[in-house]
Structures are given as C-alpha cells and as structure tokens.
Amino acid sequence: MKKMKRLWSLVLSAAMVCTTLLGGTSALAQEGDASDEVTVKVVHTNDIHGRSGYQEGTVFGFEKLATLIQLEDPDLVLDAGDLFHGQAFATLEEGESIAELVKAVGYDAMTPGNHDWNYGKDRLKELGDVAGLPILAGNITQDGENFFGGDGTFIKTVDGVKIGVLSVFDPDIKDDTAPRNVEGLTFSDDAQTATQLAEKLRQEGCDIVIALSHQLYCDEFIAQTKGIDVMIAGHEHVVLDESYPDADGKPVKVVEAGCYFENVGILSITYDPSEDAVVSMEEEVISASQAGDIASDETVSVLLGEIQERQAAQLTQVVGSTGRDLDGRWEELRVEETGLGRLVTAAYLEETGADIAFENAGGIRLGRMLPAGDITCQDIIDISPFGNYIVTKQITGEAVLSILEKSIDIGIRNQESYDQWKETGSDQVRWPDDNGSYLQFGGMKVTYDTSKPMGQRVLSVQVGEQPLELDRVYIVATNNYISLGKAFSELADVPELHQYAACDEALIRFVQQGQEKVDTAAANESLQDVTGIPEEPSESQTESQPSASSSTASSSTGSGIDSPNTGVESFAWVWGLLAVSLVGMALGAARSKKAEK
C-alpha cells in the first residue's frame, strides 16, 4: 500500500511539472500578476459620540481597538466624525478625554461630524492637536482659507501604491449644531469640492482615492462626484456596505460602521498595478460582542483608568446650589410638573432662545429628591446621563395644543397606575407603555381640567405674555430623543431647525449662574390643574371649546387660545378667563408646596 501511495505521488508530481512546462507559460504569468497585487487595509470608525471604554456587547472600547489595530496592522486608521462629543466622559472635559485616547490608539486622520463642533470651532482645532491627527474638510473655509489648514487631503504610499484621502463635510448638516459654533465659516458645495480634490490626487499620481465624509445622503452625494473609488462615511448611524453609481456611472463602494462604538470596520482594497485599477474591495465589521474575545491593550487601559480617576474628582465639584428641594423621583415626574422639570426646561430655553421647551419624564433620570444645598457635577450627570442633545423645531400653535392634550392624557393614565401602586405597594402594577413620554414644560402657562374628554382638557395656554395662537409658528426646544419619538408625531414629522449642546452641558451652564436663577426657574409653575373647581361658563365658551383636533374656530374661545380669523371679540370670554386665572392663582399657591413633596 505504501508503495502504491508513493507511486501515485510521483505520477501526480510529474503531471504537475508537465502542465507547467507544456502549457503553463500563461499560468506562470498569472501567478506573477497575482503577486503584484497590493491590498490596502483601513480600520475605520464613525459616530462614536463620546463612548470610551469597553462595555460588554454594546461598546467596543478604545482599549480593544488598540489591540485590534496591532493585530490587523492596517495601513490607515480613519474616523468619519462625531467623535469628541456625546457622553459625559467626553463633555466633562470638552472632548479632551476622547482626544487623548485617540492619540494613544493612533489614528491617521478624521473628518468632523456636526456634533464635533459643539464646543465651538476653535476648540475643535485644539482637540485635533491633542489627538495628534489632522482634521480634514476641504470645503470649509474662513476668510478664504481652509479652516483646518491644507486642502482637505493627504497621501500615503503602501508598497509602491499611492493612496489619496480626501475629505468634505456635508453643508446640509452645518445647522445641526448651534449657529455660534460655526460662526464665520463658509461651507462650499461638497460634491463639487470632492470631485476637484479627487482630480488633483489623480494628477499627483494616486492609484486609489478614498473619500472620508460625514454625509446625510451618501447615494445622492456619490451621484454628483467623479474620481472616487470608495467612501468611508458617518452620520447616518447605520452599518452600510453598498455601491452607488457616480456621475460617470462607475460604482463607488460606501461603508459605515453603525454608531456609538458598537462596531469597528475593516476595509480591504486590492489594487492591481498591471491593470492600474482597484480589482476588489471587502468590508468586515467587528462588533462589540466580538470585542470580548480581544485582549485589552495595557497602555490604553491604564490611560482610561487615569482619565476616569481625574473625572471622579471633577464629578464631586460643586457647580451651583438650590434653595429648595427638587423632585426627581421616577413616579412624580410622570404624574405632575416638578421643580426639577422646570429647571431643566428653563435651561433649554436659555440655551436656545426658543419660545417653548419640552422634556420627557423618561429623560430625567435622577430617581430621587435633590435636597436644598449644593448641586454637584455628579448630580447633573445623574439627571441627564444619556448624552442626549438639545434640538429646536418649528411647530404651529395647533400642534402645541395637541401635544399638551396628549401629555395630559399620559399623565392621567400614569396617575391611575401610581394610585394603584400606592394602594397595593405591589411591584406588579403595570404602568402605561408610554409613561416616560409625560412632559415637563417651560415657556408656557397652562390651565387644564382632567374631567373633560380628551381633546378638550386644555382651558388656557399662554406663551410668554400672549395667548397661544393656533396658526402661529413657535420654536420649541427639546431633547433629540423625544423630538423623533413615536409619542408626539407633531414633533417627529417636522425637520430640525438647529442642534445645540448636550442636555447636561446646558444644565450645568444654567446652574452655574447662581442659586437665585435656579430657584426662580424651579418655582415658575407652568401647569395648573383646575379639575373640580367650579367655573362660570362664558357665552363664547359655550359656543366654542378648544380642541386639539380642531384647527379653526369662528370666534375666540374662553380658553385663552387665539384661533385664526377671529373677528370682533365679546367681553364675555374676558370675564371667564379672569375667573379661571383668579382660581388658578389661588390653586397655584397651594399646589406649589405639593409639587415637591
């Protein structure tokens, strides 16, 4: 048997030699061509939003990323924006903690995301220096010069293959940060700039052109460009591996690695010099779940610990004070207005200059009373720990009225569950699924009656010093989560006007202005429940009841809500409103104490 095996081995060897000698010239040539191919490997991230250390199944972590880079030995490490801002770990030091980790890991370049501007344009430049990497954006200028220096490109040669990286920022999202953060900057057309930069890189001998961009609609962007081989994108918060045709019809691969450091992308680009072309591209996504099998880099782990230690001291720092207890208890926030809710919405109003502010109960996470006395940085983080940011939107008075009606209805259903819990003490009591969507308000004075049917409970609304006008457009400020949530389509269905600071940042800034300001905001009651208090109906109240489902009225109502096309007003509604107001003032004094019990 052994002899037979050996004989077959000799026969097969001879056959291989014959194949090579007689017909294998082209085969040898093909083998040679394959050996000339160069594969360029790029590790990329995007939309980390201030996440830092490894968290099982959810956050990849810089200490794991550092090890992955060592194992993969990539030619480039790139980030597509929204890196420095988000979680308290980042915002406490205005991005410096993240920049230090980026430097330790070893990135080659990044492009800014809209939230990277949140500390201001000059601070963003400083963070690039701390991180030890160039920030690229070829279409952003100030006084005619590129804001970040250079032209938004760089070139690296790998095994004789020249790789050009260009970067542009989507001008359509420049308003997704507070206007003051980008004041004085000019955002040119991104697709036109990208095409020009790609042509320049080709003229400089680049074999591969990579675009790096924070983009709202990647397919539309690529359709207007030429000369790009592949784009590494951010902003859409999706895992993306697609090809889109450019202006010449050439397919351009676009990759994105999700968001919140849930994944890291590894892009392999193979270039064949004999064809002078990219012959293949493969994208691999490594998830935070897989990161558990990757060892933590010791140097980065130590750095993480040092940052957390210095931040622990910072968290105990006093940022302000309150002269009254502020109720942040889970249940109370879901059934009534509290002083803490007023404080949060007052901070939103000051940060944005909006007419009205909303904050959902689920967005305030303190879970306890905040006693009169010092307010620490840790208290603020406990109130607003998510890294949410403030957004503004424009909605009509009719939409405001509808939101009020919905929130009051959620509060009524929450109260039923709360009462049942207080009666039974059972943790099995079920709360409504939308319990956290009950709203705390700022910028308004509202009276309502819970005994009336849904859509007719709001009796009066005053915005600033004026009655709510159904056809007027108001600017409202809220957190980004509730602005897109299912509870209030009136908010979700309209575009954002601007994006502002993180919620915790705005609250810290407000509290730092002194106890008098804090106490005034916390005492500024917005909601008055007049259920069960007799009210004399006026003639106009009988004729027209305010309703979230009714957008027009033939006359002004006794609710203090101005409908469009009102005509001559009667005096009757004035007396009715005066009666409600007097009752409300008396009730407000009594309820002011109750609200913080």
Do 185 and 151 lie in a common domain?
yes
Higher pLDDT, 563 or 597: 563
Do 299 and 412 lie in a common domain?
no
Is 4 part of any domain? no
Do 505 and 363 lie in a common domain?
yes
pLDDT tens string 523-552: 999 999 999 887 655 443 433 334 444 433
Closest CA to 116 of 460, 424, 477, 389: 389
Do 299 and 402 lie in a common domain?
no
Kindly tell me if the per-residue pLDDT of 558 is higher than 90.
no
pLDDT score, position 535? 62
Do 221 and 335 lie in a common domain?
no
Do 389 and 433 lie in a common domain?
yes
Is 508 part of any domain? yes
Is 496 part of any domain? yes
Is 370 part of any domain? yes
Which residue, 287, 310, 333, sits at the end of a domain?
310
Do 229 and 377 lie in a common domain?
no
Residues 559/460, Cβ–Cβ less than 8 Å: yes
Average pLDDT rounded to a whole number, residues 465-488 = 94
Kindly tell me if the per-residue pLDDT of 583 is higher than 80.
no
pLDDT tens string 376-387: 999 999 899 878
> What is the distance between the alpha carbons of residues 180 and 404, in angstroms, rounded to a whole number?
31
pLDDT score, position 560? 63
What DSSP string describes 165-224? EEEEE-GGGTTSS-GGGGTT-EE--HHHHHHHHHHHHHHTT-SEEEEEEE-S-HHHHHHT
pLDDT score, position 383? 94
Do 528 and 543 lie in a common domain?
yes
> What is the distance between the alpha carbons of residues 183 and 185, in angstroms, rounded to a whole number?
6
When the pLDDT of each residue in the chain is averaged and rounded to a whole number, the result is: 86
- Return the residue matching tokens 């952003």: 140
Q: Supply the DSSP symbol for 328.
A: -
Which residue, 267, 288, 310, sits at the end of a domain?
310
Count the domains in the chain: 2
Q: Where are the alpha helices (DSSP H) in 316-366?
A: 330-333, 339-352
Domain hosting 418: range is 316-594
Higher pLDDT, 19 or 85: 85
| Residues above pLDDT 70, as percent of the chain | 84
- Greatest CA separation for the chain: 118
Kindly tell me if the per-residue pLDDT of 571 is higher than 70.
no
Work out the pLDDT band at 35, boundaries 50, 70, 90. low
Kindly tell me if the per-residue pLDDT of 30 is higher than 50.
no
pLDDT tens string 350-371: 999 999 999 999 999 898 899 9
| Residues above pLDDT 90, as percent of the chain | 74
Is 350 part of any domain? yes
- Return the residue matching tokens 């609250």: 507
pTM: 0.71
What DSSP string describes 505-533? HHHHHHHTT-HHHHHHHHH---EEE-TT-
Is 211 part of any domain? yes
Kindly tell me if the per-residue pLDDT of 4 is higher than 90.
no
pLDDT score, position 2? 33
Residues 464/557, Cβ–Cβ less than 8 Å: no
Do 365 and 294 lie in a common domain?
no
CATH at residue 86: 3.60.21.10
pLDDT score, position 88? 83
pLDDT score, position 523? 96
Do 355 and 294 lie in a common domain?
no
pLDDT tens string 87-138: 888 988 999 999 999 999 999 999 999 989 989 999 999 999 999 999 999 9
Work out the pLDDT band at 485, boundaries 50, 70, 90. confident
Work out the pLDDT band at 597, boundaries 50, 70, 90. very low
Is 29 part of any domain? no
pLDDT score, position 536? 58
DSSP H or E stretch at residue 302: helix 298-315
Do 69 and 130 lie in a common domain?
yes
DSSP H or E stretch at residue 233: strand 230-234
In this structure, what is the dihedral angle of CA atoms 403, 408, 411, 415, given to the nearest 10 degrees? -170
Do 454 and 530 lie in a common domain?
yes
Which residue, 310, 336, 369, sits at the end of a domain?
310
C-beta atoms surrounding 14 within 10 Å: 10
Kindly tell me if the per-residue pLDDT of 347 is higher than 70.
yes
CATH at residue 502: 3.90.780.10
pLDDT score, position 22? 39
Residues 463/384, Cβ–Cβ less than 8 Å: no
Ramachandran category for residue 73: left, alpha or beta (phi over 0 → left; psi -120 to 50 → alpha):
left
Is 443 part of any domain? yes
> What is the distance between the alpha carbons of residues 488 and 482, in angstroms, rounded to a whole number?
8
